[in-house]
Amino acid sequence: MRTFIFFLLFLIHLGCYGQEIKYTQQAADSFKIKPLNEENLEKFKQILKSDEQLFGWTKYYAYLGYRKAVIKEHDSAKWYAKKAIDVFQNLYQKHPNEEKCLVQAYYALGFIARLEERFEASTTHMLSALKIAEDYEVPLKSYITNTIANNKLSLGNYENALVYYKRNLQDSLFIKSPQAEITNLTKVGILYLEGYLNQPDSAKFYLKKALTRSLNTEYKNNVPYIYANLADYFRGKNEDSTLFYYRESKVAFEDFVVDKNSSPDNTDLYQITNNSYVAIFENQIPRAIKDLNFVVDSLRNNIHDRNDRDILRTAYDNLVLAYEKSDNFKAATVLLKERQVFEIEFQQLQLTQQLEKLELEFETKKKEEEILSLKKEAETTATILQQQRIIGYSAIGGGLLLLGIGWLIYKQKRLNEKFKLVSLEQRLLRSQMNPHFLFNALTTAALLIDEKAEKAKGYIVKLAKLLRLTLENSREDFVSLDSEIEAFTSYLQLQSDFSEKFDYDITIDSNLETEYIAIPPMLIQPFLENAVLHGIGNSKNRGDIKISIKKATSDTVVCTITDNGIGLAQKMNSNTGNHESLSLKIVQERLALYHKSNETLVSLQNLKEVDPNLNGTQIMFSIPFDTL
């Protein structure tokens, strides 16, 4: 009997040890797979296997796919990421924690697609990841948008790329990493350069900001590229600055560490091309020609992307310069023709590559359809009818989709036409003002030569500088406030030096960062011309002009111009009143276009109405601005 009891207790003991532990859903939800390694993934898997009713397999496969992508097992990463998506889609009851974890699955697919240069597919996956990340506040958002920005840049969609890069720079968590912030600042600067969005002042601002940040942190790998792109900014504008930045780039490349995940291809050829430009101006032309021919031979028949194209294009430009410096104009002409042929061939190559991708996608889709067709033949008549109905619904949906796309294209076309119309109106209005200014300036120069010949040379030099500023500004839709101040200051200097009849004072709000504020050009100077020529110009007393520019709102400044001339009433009665009214009308029309408003944007005040002892006129107007 005692033996039987001991045997029974022994069996119970074995049963207790042999029984598996079942985990609850709370235990599965609260399990953190940190750090993300094989051991923790296996622990989570065992929790899920303890009870087939537990949710969590989407999370397991998504994190496993992400892990495989990190350790560069890309085929496995794609399989597990797709498995996670399939598991979630087949869930009868969707669990929030499951959907949240799909961020890792879509990110892994998007990351690998980018490495495979399938930029459209990468963007599609990343946008899916971004939507879920935003819905559940997943910290991975900035890394997702960074990949989207890189895809847009690779696809040539510069405006969209710029939007995403700037969005990242607003993310305080993302820019805690110096590498992330500096890389984004550099790419924004490059996007603003000539050949991309062509906004050189903005390019200079972001590149210098990236350089300052780099020099103040431990991350220096972007420094050589920042210097080189600053050299590209100054090229053709300031030769000394161009050479300075190319030389700094050369020094910085001595400490450059190649990173296969972030460094552009053909970094060595890029640096040889930039160094050769310096060699040309250091009278080492034979060496420069030899190095540049090496770059051309290396890339001429081996172009893969825009980065290679840019290096080869610069190498051709430098070779032409080298031959011109050595008076070999025949060789320079041959190279110019060769460069033109290369540009055409590159565009054809891009078109061919795009067609090959489309053909491959079509063939893949065709094979899938053939397999599906074979399966359909083996199904019952009822199933076939059901599938036919699905195809009919798909066709209707496709037709509706095409109609929607057509409507969007039509709407976009109308918007583009409207933008071009507004831009044309702005340029037309500016063109009406420039002849008036030029007429006044040349008249003054003629009078000076007749009456004060000894001052004619100095005046004409200043006039040339002012005309240069005016012509440069008139070509731009927006210029920096610094540039506009410099232009009208030059105008006042010229007029005051010549007439010696008036003084002027300029007051700028200390809260305005004039270097980084962009305003429409040639808005302030027409009012100053009226003040000088029609206000104090007709007065017997010594004139006084005061200009004040203050910040009004987050996107407008207010300019106030006050003179002690003959006053508004007398000016309007004089024979110049009609011309002054026309000038004022043109400025008001331009301001209305920029403000998108029909309200009165210019306020004129006769000072005598305020105080009988005062003479003169005060003009106040609001100018919209943007930040460079």
3-state secondary structure 504-558: EEEEECCCCCHHHEEECCCCCHHHHHHHHHHHHHHCCCCEEEEEEEEEEECCEEE
| 8 Å CB contact between 575 and 543 | no
Lowest mean pLDDT among 30-34, 306-310, 342-346, 490-494: 342-346
Instruction: Examine the pLDDT at 594 and tell me if it is beyond 60.
Output: yes
CA distance linking residue 349 with residue 14, whole number of Å: 73
Mean pLDDT of 92-117: 87
Tell me which DSSP letter residue 475 carries: T
> What digits encode the pLDDT tens for the residues 231-252?
888 988 888 889 899 888 888 8
Model pTM greater than 0.85? no
User: Mean pLDDT across the chain, nearest whole number?
Assistant: 79
Q: pLDDT tier at 14 (50, 70, 90 boundaries)?
A: very low
Mean pLDDT of 331-356: 71
| Predicted local distance difference test score (pLDDT) of residue 86 | 92
State which of 194-208, 327-341, 362-376, 585-599 shows the largest mean pLDDT.
Answer: 194-208
Ordered DSSP codes for 78-124? HHHHHHHHHHHHT-SS--HHHHHHHHHHHHHHHHHHHHTT-HHHHHH
Lowest mean pLDDT among 261-275, 321-335, 526-540: 261-275
| Predicted local distance difference test score (pLDDT) of residue 109 | 94
Instruction: Examine the pLDDT at 428 and tell me if it is beyond 90.
Output: no
Instruction: Examine the pLDDT at 156 and tell me if it is beyond 90.
Output: no
Polymer length in residues for the chain:
628
Q: pLDDT tier at 16 (50, 70, 90 boundaries)?
A: very low
| Predicted local distance difference test score (pLDDT) of residue 218 | 86
Mean pLDDT of 74-103: 87
Residue listed under structure tokens 């119970």: 12
What is the phi/psi pair of residue 57, to 5°? -70, -30
| Predicted local distance difference test score (pLDDT) of residue 375 | 53
Instruction: Examine the pLDDT at 579 and tell me if it is beyond 50.
Output: no
Lowest mean pLDDT among 99-108, 252-261, 470-479, 552-561: 252-261
Q: Which two tokens stand for residue 357?
A: 């991708």
CA distance linking residue 543 with residue 563, whole number of Å: 7
> What digits encode the pLDDT tens for the residues 172-231?
888 888 888 898 999 998 889 877 888 988 998 999 899 899 889 888 888 888 988 998
Torsion of CA 95, 98, 103, 105, to 10 degrees: -140
Strands 556-563, 502-508: pairing kind: unpaired
CA atoms lying within 13 Å on the CB side of residue 116:
17
**Percentage of residues of the chain with pLDDT beyond 90:** 13
| Predicted local distance difference test score (pLDDT) of residue 264 | 58
Does residue 433 or residue 273 have the better pLDDT? 273
| Predicted local distance difference test score (pLDDT) of residue 8 | 47
| Predicted local distance difference test score (pLDDT) of residue 557 | 92
Alpha carbon 427 to chain centroid, angstroms: 25
Q: Which domains does the chain have, with CATH numbers?
A: 19-176 (1.25.40.10), 425-627 (3.30.565.10)
The residues facing 546 across adjacent strands are: 505, 562
Instruction: Examine the pLDDT at 421 and tell me if it is beyond 60.
Output: no
Instruction: Examine the pLDDT at 437 and tell me if it is beyond 60.
Output: no
Q: pLDDT tier at 451 (50, 70, 90 boundaries)?
A: low
Q: pLDDT tier at 440 (50, 70, 90 boundaries)?
A: low
Q: Give burial (CB, 10 Å; 0-12/13-18/19+) of 31.
A: middle
Instruction: Examine the pLDDT at 379 and tell me if it is beyond 50.
Output: yes
Strands 502-508, 543-553: pairing kind: parallel
| Predicted local distance difference test score (pLDDT) of residue 85 | 92
Tell me which DSSP letter residue 282 carries: T
Instruction: Examine the pLDDT at 568 and tell me if it is beyond 80.
Output: no
**Percentage of residues of the chain with pLDDT beyond 70:** 77
Mean pLDDT of 69-80: 92
Q: pLDDT tier at 377 (50, 70, 90 boundaries)?
A: low
